[in-house]
Amino acid sequence: MSKEKLESEGKKDPFLIEQILYTADESPEFNEYLKSREHLVARQDNLSEVTEDKVLMSGWHVPCHCIITRTPEGKSQAFHIQPNKAGSFLTFEQEKALREMGTQKASAIVSKGIRSWFGRGDEIELENMHIKLERVVDVDTSNWWRLLYDPKTNELWIDIKDKKVLKKYKGF
């Protein structure tokens, strides 16, 4: 494993803290972090429980995207979004939970890969739910990636499998 501070890329993305290259099939640091911390998982086409202190994890994504929400009181929740049989992006449970987060004046960070369907219509949908979109993190792959968010450190980690790189970002 090698760590690199990204001077040039950091200028492009001021939220990027560092990237860690690895040779394994997936990031060992990501896996170790999950083992050492209590975490909640937003499985495919689902959502996590709301938490104030547990790590949120979502993956593996390809065309899907992930929404991390956080209220001013520090409650966070993860949503693994993909088109469903009804042709909508959100399941009934996801829409209900996002609307609830909106009543609490939540902000959101969306992470999406190259093949994600997330677009302007989805941004408007979040706005209509009274959720402030802080930013979109573009994941530079059309292959598998996964994400974790730690509310205690306010860091977002993205493990990009085909690039064999773990990218760490500032959160909210």
pLDDT at 59: 86
Q: How many CB atoms lie within 10 A of CB 81?
A: 28
- Note the pLDDT tens digit of each residue in 99-120: 999 999 999 999 999 888 788 9
pLDDT at 88: 63
Q: How far is CA 163 from the centre of its chain?
A: 18
Kindly give the pairing relationship between strand 2-4 and strand 16-21: antiparallel
Instruction: Give the CATH number of the domain where residue 44 resides.
Output: 3.30.1330.200
Domain count, the chain: 1
- pLDDT tens across the length of the chain (172 residues): 555 554 445 468 999 999 999 999 999 999 999 999 999 999 988 999 999 999 999 988 877 899 999 999 999 999 999 866 555 678 899 999 999 999 999 999 999 998 887 889 889 999 999 999 999 999 999 899 999 999 999 999 999 999 999 999 999 9
| Residue 159 contacts residue 146 (beta carbons within 8 Å) | yes
Domain housing 127: 2-170
Task: Quote the tokens at residue 18.
Answer: 């560092």
pTM of the predicted structure, to 2 decimals: 0.90
